[in-house]
C-alpha cells in the first residue's frame, strides 16, 4: 500500500463498520488461501461493538471460518477479564463467543496480573507466535486502532514520555493514563509501525479536530506520530472515518 495515509470517509458508523469488517474478512480469506495464519490485534471503543457484530454476520453469510486467525490486543485496561471495561470481555461476548473461537487462538493481555509481569508475558507471547522483522519486532498482519477525542490510539496518549515512544518491547505499561483506569497495557509504537497493515477507525462526534490534527502533523497527536512513523517506514496507514 501507499506510504501516505489512505483516507476513506463514510456517512455513518454502520457503513464504516460494515466496510471494515468486509475488508478484514477478505484479508483472512486471502491468508487461508495461501495456507498461512492471519495475525490481528484488536482494540476497544464504541465502533468496535458494531465492527464485531458485522464480522460475525458477514463471516456466517460468507461461510468463512476464523479458525486460522490469532487474536492479540492493541491495549487493555489493568482489570480482570470479567470487568465490564475489559477489552477482552467485549471481544469474548461479541466476537469469540458467537463464532466459537478456540481458546488457543486468543492471546489476551492479562490485566489482572502485576502490570510489568503482564507486559513481559504478552511481549514473549507475541514474539512466540508472530514473525519478526530485521529489528526483532513482531509483524502482525493487521492492527485495528480506534482514535480518541484527544487523538490517542491504543493506550498511547498525548503527553506520553519519550521513554514510552522509544520503547523497544512489543508491549509496555502505561501508568499515567489521563482516562481511568490510569494503569494500562499497550502495544508500543515500534510494534504498531512493524505491522503489515494498520487501520484506524475514527468514529463518533467530537473527533473532528483530533483527526484533522493527526493528518496535518506527526507531532500533534499520538495518531499523528503513528502515521508519521509508518510513512517513514514505508508501511502506510489506512484511516476509516465517519467524521469530517
pLDDT tens by residue, 107-145: 999 999 999 999 999 999 999 999 999 999 999 999 999
Q: How many CB atoms lie within 10 A of CB 65?
A: 13
Count of domains observed in the chain: 1
Residues of the chain above pLDDT 90, percent = 92
Residue 1 domain-assigned? Answer: no
CA distance 200 to 219: 17
pLDDT tens by residue, 203-216: 998 999 999 999 98
Find the angle CA(169)-CA(173)-CA(174) to the nearest 5 degrees. 125
Residue 128 domain-assigned? Answer: yes
Residue 72 domain-assigned? Answer: yes
Of 45, 82, 4, give the one whose Cα is nearest residue 202.
45
Helix axes 208-216, 222-233, angle to 10 degrees: 30
Domain boundaries, position 194: 6-241
Residue 122 domain-assigned? Answer: yes
Work out the average pLDDT over 74-93.
97
Looking up residue 54, the CATH number of its domain turns out to be: 3.40.50.1360
Residue 222 domain-assigned? Answer: yes
| pLDDT at residue number 1 | 42
Residue 149 domain-assigned? Answer: yes
pLDDT tens by residue, 16-47: 999 999 999 999 999 999 999 999 999 999 99
Q: pTM of the entire structure? A: 0.96
Amino acid at each position: 500500500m501507499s506510504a501516505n495515509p489512505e483516507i476513506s470517509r463514510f456517512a455513518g458508523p454502520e457503513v464504516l463498520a460494515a466496510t471494515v469488517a468486509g475488508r478484514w474478512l477478505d484479508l483472512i480469506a486471502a491468508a487461508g488461501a495461501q495456507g498461512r495464519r492471519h495475525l490481528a490485534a484488536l482494540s476497544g471503543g464504541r465502533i468496535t461493538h458494531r465492527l464485531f457484530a458485522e464480522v460475525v454476520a458477514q463471516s456466517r453469510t460468507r461461510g468463512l471460518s476464523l479458525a486460522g486467525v490469532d487474536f492479540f490486543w492493541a491495549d487493555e485496561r489493568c482489570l480482570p477479564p470479567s470487568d465490564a471495561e475489559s477489552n477482552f470481555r467485549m471481544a469474548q461476548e461479541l466476537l469469540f463467543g458467537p463464532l466459537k473461537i478456540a481458546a488457543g487462538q486468543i492471546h489476551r493481555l492479562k490485566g489482572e496480573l502485576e502490570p510489568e509481569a503482564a507486559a513481559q508475558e504478552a511481549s514473549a507471547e507475541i514474539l512466540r507466535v508472530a514473525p519478526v522483522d530485521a529489528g526483532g519486532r513482531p509483524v502482525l498482519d493487521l492492527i485495528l486502532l480506534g482514535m480518541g477525542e484527544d487523538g490517542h490510539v491504543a493506550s498511547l496518549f498525548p503527553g506520553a514520555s519519550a521513554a514510552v515512544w522509544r520503547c523497544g518491547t512489543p508491549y509496555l505499561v502505561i501508568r499515567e493514563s489521563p482516562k481511568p483506569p490510569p494503569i494500562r497495557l499497550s502495544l508500543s509504537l515500534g510494534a504498531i509501525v512493524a505491522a503489515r497493515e494498520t487501520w484506524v477507525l475514527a468514529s463518533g462526534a467530537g473527533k473532528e479536530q483530533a483527526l484533522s490534527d493527526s493528518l496535518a502533523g506527526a507531532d500533534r497527536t499520538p495518531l499523528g506520530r503513528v502515521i508519521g512513523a509508518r510513512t517513514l517506514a514505508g508501511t502506510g496507514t489506512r484511516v476509516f472515518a465517519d467524521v469530517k
